Structure 1
Amino acid sequence: MPAKKVLIILSDAHTFPLKKKSGPDAGLVVDQPSGFFLQELAKPLQKLLDAGHEVTFASPKGREPAPDPNSESLLAYAGNFYERRKEMELIEHMKRTNGFDRPRPFSTFSEDELATFAGLFIPGGHAPLTDLGDDPELGRILRFFNKENKPTAAICHGPYALLSTMKAGDGSFVYKGYKITSWSDAEENLMETLWGGEVEKVESALRDQGAIMVEGATEKVGGTTLDHELVTGGNPLAANALGDRFLKMLSV
């Protein structure tokens, strides 16, 4: 496969808003630590690099991204110490060689440069809830990829970033009517119970704007959804399948 350029969208946020429902902070909105979910970034990223593609990292303001602390735990890797080490080392390698810790601000990409990218990928983690869904510059970028029918991939909370298209252009949601899979409301409800607070729901937010949300048993165990140029997955179990499907789309 000829080498192509892929734009990877990251959040600048190291936390996301959590409205506490109980305890001394009941009713208050607190900052819950988060960032990119390691597996959801590393697995598709490794596949892109193995295929010889060139990746460019971008974020709202170009700040150093942070991993979601939960995603670096051995529990997240079902105790597989070696897999976790390999994926953490990949991110460190990207810092040394590819400017991962200095992503380019969205505003620095002209349409002429966006045209040189073959695809775009948005990993998950709760951080996108903070600064990607309402970013007009990201909306401009996504609108361009949508208009040009360029392969676009998003996983877990990453699809929340698609809402940014309403902050650019004519204000419409360009993925209205698309079939999309994301982190589900049911999965978020479990996290809310763990944290004792309320979180913005990705599935509901996208459905409210006209997306056709595809959820169920298949998606819970790593299934992906393809519609037009957009491929999406719901949770870390989908990371490998999403990466494979995205690679296939880039090869066309």
Structure 2
Amino acid sequence: MSKGTILVVGSNATQLEAQGGGTITIGQFLNETAVPLMAVVAAGYDFVLATPTGEKPHMDRDSDALIYFANDDAARTRARDFFNNDPAMNRVRTVRSVIDEGLDRFAGVFFPGGHAPVVDVMQDPDVREVLRHFHTKNKPTAAICHGPISVLAELGNAREFRAALINGDKAKARELATGWQYAGYRMTVFSRSEEEYAEDNVFHAKLLFNMPDALEAAGAEVVTTDQNFTSHVIVDRELVTAQNPMSDHELASKFIAALDRAV
């Protein structure tokens, strides 16, 4: 018998705007999706995967790499098999349809990482309803790497807020973020220096804004580690956030602990 059901809000984005024009090919990160979810299932929970369009998230091709699994090929294979073949990973719903059926049945919500949520989830109006429900009900809300950017969707004008970030208008962004439900929360996200590494060595292109700037403009207290790509997780009230791919196991452990306390 399941201990409860987790809502997983994934992204459908495959391209991210870059400075100077053009796009960067992106997706949902393999380990940041599969490792926490496999741990959640092993802990006795099940899950429902929902995305804005109801289509399955695209796996970021750069994430299918041994470096994200401590060079353990068996672990990578298990994660890949889970992402590709697990039944719940392939019964994808729209976020809207899940809301319409009622959110009370969910014990918590999880936002996987990869750059994809920066495109669609962070400005999706249906995700706003999800975030408001879990905040109001004080239910565990977890996100990893770029996943924490998803909590900006709670803003009633999230699309305008994102546009202000792209335009470099921080004053406008701060004005638009008035009343954000997570203002004052301590949280973490993919750091400025980690993003610079990805821009220089993976994308060979610059993003239009970085994640700490975005969350800080909305009123978050963003805390990242000085040493890149080391595990770092922050728990503040119902919110559990993890900084980078190497935080996958710690994020899973702390999210499960929060779920167990809440059920």
TM-score, normalised by the number of residues in structure 2: 0.85
Q: CA deviation at 1:218?
A: 7.1
Judged with a 3 Å threshold, the aligned counterparts in structure 2 of structure 1 residues 144 and 190 are, in CA distance, closer, same or farther, namely same
Question: Is the counterpart of residue 155 in structure 1 residue 144 in structure 2?
Answer: yes
Contact 1:63 1:102 in 2 (8 A): no
Q: Quote how far apart the aligned CAs of 1:61 are.
A: 1.1
Aligned letter for 1:104?
A: R
- Say if 1:165 and 1:4 are closer, same or farther in 2 by CA, change over 3 A: same
For 1:50 and 1:219, the matched residues in 2 are separated by 29
Give, in whole Å, the separation in 1 of the partners of 2:33 and 2:96. 22
Aligned residues of 2:224 and 2:232 also touching (Cα < 8 A): no
Give 1:78 deviation, angstroms. Answer: 4.6
1:215 to 1:8, Cα distance in 2 relative to 1, 3 A = same
How far residue 89 of structure 1 moved from its aligned partner, in angstroms, is 0.9
Q: Is the 8 A contact 1:139 1:168 kept in 2?
A: no
Counterpart Cα distance in 2 of 1:110 and 1:173: 21
Which residue pairs with 2:171 in the alignment? Answer: none
Q: Tell me, which stretches of 5 or more residues in structure 1 are unaligned?
A: 20-26
The number of residue pairs the alignment matches comes to 241
State, as a whole percentage, how many aligned pairs show the same letter: 32
Q: CA RMSD in A?
A: 2.1
Partner of 2:184: 177
C-alpha contact 1:35 1:65 (8 A) present in aligned 2: yes
CA distance in 1, matches of 2:212, 2:23: 21
In 2: Cα distance, 1:143 partner to 1:171 partner:
15
Once the two structures are TM-superposed, the CA of residue 111 in structure 1 deviates from its matched residue by 6.6
1:89 paired to 2:98: no
* Corresponding residue to 2:105 among 113, 116, 128: 116
Q: C-alpha separation between the residues in 2 aligned to 1:76 and 1:52? A: 25
Q: Distance in 1 between matches of 2:125 and 2:179?
A: 12
Whole-Å separation in 1 of the counterparts to 2:96 and 2:106: 16
Task: Summarize the alignment of residues 238-249 of structure 1 with structure 2, pairs less than 5 Å apart.
Answer: 238-249=247-258
Q: Residue in 2 aligned with 1:204?
A: 213
Q: 1:168 to 1:18 in 2, by over 3 A?
A: closer
Structure-to-structure mapping, 1:64-83, within 5 angstroms: 64-83=56-75
TM-score (norm 1): 0.89
1:136 corresponds to which of 110, 113, 125: 125
